[in-house]
Amino acid sequence: MPEKVTFVDLGRISYQEALDRQIDIHKKLINRKLKIRNGEKVEGGAEHHLFFCEHNPVYTLGKSGSIDNLLLSESQLEDENIDFFKTNRGGDITYHGPGQLVGYPIFDFDYFYHDVHKYVFDMEEAIILSLKETGIKATRIKGLTGVWIKGVNGQKDRKICAIGIHLSRWVSLHGFALNVNTAMQYFDNIIPCGIDDKSKDVTSIEAETGKSQNMNTIKSIVKRNFAKVFGFEYK
């Protein structure tokens, strides 16, 4: 039987509030796992969740990232009304904000598989399939996490979706950030994902297609492809 996943659209939400929601589910899944290992009886299956949201403007720095990749001072962040968080996810610095679809799978991977690389691959695959439905041919670039559009005829390679995860006792936190109608100027204040390469850039579905996207339509597409790639069903 496929695993069941509870889907919740959190809407527009602060980064801290969304993180608190993730941590609450994460702790419950880990506590359930520990009870099973201790021989205690538990009721029902694992309560996997998939959160979608849009954040207020915020820069987040991964545990392996460098603060030097943030190009604004603390006072400038305050002036621009942009939050900043150090996190325990993988990766370097990125931006979240309105017009960007952020997804947080909180899954107990004891019920899926024990393979971090496959998890990242599958998340990328769900986004690649989703972008295909918008007419965008996206791919992976070896050695670089996330989803990209390869440059042709002198164009830069463009990152359209960032991925940063954390796993504790095989329970996942954090996830992906897909640029849909994102205001791209916010990326000028950072070295996105720590990639200081003039042949690389960031982009959005809006920028690639030349038209604003219906966020609810994109959410529906991505939601469906996550279930398809990971092989679960929504409750």
Please report the domains of the chain, with CATH numbers, ordered by start residue: 4-234 (3.30.930.10)
pLDDT digits (tens, 9 = 90+) for 103-144: 999 999 999 999 999 999 999 999 999 999 999 999 999 999
Residues designated as active site: 193
Buried b (16+ CB within 10 A) or exposed e, 218-233: bbebbbebbbebbebe
In this structure, which amino acid lies at residue 93? I
The pTM assigned to this predicted structure is: 0.96
φ, ψ dihedrals at 46, nearest 5°: -70, 135
Tell me the per-residue pLDDT of 18-70, one tens digit each, with 9 for 90 and over.
Answer: 999 999 999 999 999 999 999 999 988 899 999 999 999 999 999 989 999 99
Residue-wise pLDDT for 142-164, tens only, equals 999 999 999 988 899 999 999 99
* Spatial distance between the Cα atoms of 208 and 206, rounded to a whole number of angstroms: 6
Provide DSSP, 201-222. Answer: EE--HHHHHTS---HHHHHHHH
3-state secondary structure of 161: strand
Q: What is the pairing mode between strands 58-61 and 93-96?
A: antiparallel
